[in-house]
Amino acid sequence: MTKLSVNINKFATLRNSRGGNRPNVLQAAIDAQKFGADGVTVHPRPDERHIRYDDVRQIKQIITTEFNIEGNCREQSFVDLVLEVKPDQVTLVPDTLGQLTSDHGWDTIQNKKYLIDMIAVFKNAGIRTSIFVDPEIRMIEGAVETGTDRIELYTEGYAKRYTTDPREAVQQYLVAATRARSMGLGINAGHDLDLQNLHYLVQTIPWIDEVSIGHALVCDALYLGYENAVQLYKRQLNVE
Ligand SMILES: CC(=O)[C@@H](O)[C@H](O)COP(=O)(O)O
Ligand SMILES: NCC(=O)COP(=O)(O)O
């Protein structure tokens, strides 16, 4: 079954809006696991506007499931942090500085040499690697050549189109995920997944290894409660 990794960035965004330690980000990580999540994701950015580097170090101490750190490896401070913390998985995302949120995948062809080098750095440290890509065959084929263990399919496009035409929305992802699987890549997916669009994605592509979900899950937690929200998302992943 596809695993759920809860992205707790938005707990940190709320905390940072007032200073102090409410909500407690460390507790959010502990509770995600307690409520049934298969892992915790964080996406530190150099301005630390949400998850802070020190949060990442503390979360590592309490992780009993899988820890996934996402971010831009062009920032040396990010590379240093990941090598220090040694999560289970690092997901390389080509963010630009000050970007509101991730909005594109890697061009794995133009950045091939660079990605080969970076993937080797993390794999040599025993960390599983994933790279954030758009659902394009050329980019998937380029990803294989970098030596990465997995890709993370950037699902904003799916989420946007799902509301009008689910079948059309998922088609490009199905083709990309089929090609990725045939070349031996593991497959993650994330961005803008929610309680409406998640089930159809994993029902259509049940070989997705893991989804990371933050924004919508935390919004749902405000209305439904955190435990309930995590369990509702887990239930969407059950396609047997
Ligand atoms: C790569 C990706 O899609 C997520 O990590 C997303 O960027 C979440 O980060 P924010 O919560 O900071 O938008
Ligand atoms: N990798 C995607 C992620 O961690 C969460 O994205 P979102 O659910 O906050 O859009």
Which residue is closest in CA terms to ligand 1's atom 13? 101
> What pTM value is reported for the model?
0.97
Note the pLDDT of residue 71: 96
**Half-sphere exposure (CA, 13 Å, Cβ side) for 139?**
20
- Whether 104 is catalytic is no
Which residue is closest in CA terms to ligand 2's atom 6? 191
Note the pLDDT of residue 97: 78
> 181, 210, 184, 214: which is closest to 8 by C-alpha?
214
Whether residue 91 is annotated as binding a ligand: the answer is no
Note the pLDDT of residue 96: 82
Note the pLDDT of residue 32: 98
- Whether 84 is catalytic is no
Whether residue 192 is annotated as binding a ligand: the answer is yes
* Rounded Cα distance, 40 and 37, in Å: 8
The minimum-distance atom of ligand 2 relative to the CA of 216 is 8
Residue 57: CB atoms within 10 Å: 12
| CATH code of 74's domain | 3.20.20.70
Out of 11, 41, 213, 219, mutate this one to test ligand 2's pocket (max ligand atoms within 8 Å of CB): namely 213
**Encoded tokens for 94:** 């080509």
Terminal-residue alpha carbon distance, the chain: 8
- Whether 66 is catalytic is no
The total number of structural domains that make up the chain: 1
* Ligand 2 pocket, residue 70 CB under 6 Å: yes
* Inter-residue contact 129 to 89 (CB < 8 Å): yes
Note the pLDDT of residue 230: 98
The minimum-distance atom of ligand 1 relative to the CA of 215 is 11
Give residue 36's domain range.
3-236
Burial class from Cβ neighbours inside 10 Å (0-12, 13-18, 19+) for residue 199 reads: middle
**Encoded tokens for 40:** 């915790």
pLDDT per residue, tens digit, the chain (240 aa), is 999 999 999 999 999 999 999 999 999 999 999 999 999 999 999 889 899 999 999 999 999 999 999 999 999 999 999 999 999 999 999 988 778 888 899 999 999 999 999 999 999 999 999 999 999 999 999 999 999 999 999 999 999 999 999 999 999 999 999 999 999 999 999 999 999 999 999 999 999 999 999 999 999 999 999 999 999 999 999 987
Distance 112 CA to ligand 2 centre (A): 24
What DSSP line would sit under 200-234, residue for residue?
HHHHH-TT--EEEE-HHHHHHHHHH-HHHHHHHHH
> 191, 212, 105: which is closest to 148 by C-alpha?
105
Q: % helix / strand / coil in the chain, to the nearest 5? A: 45, 15, 35
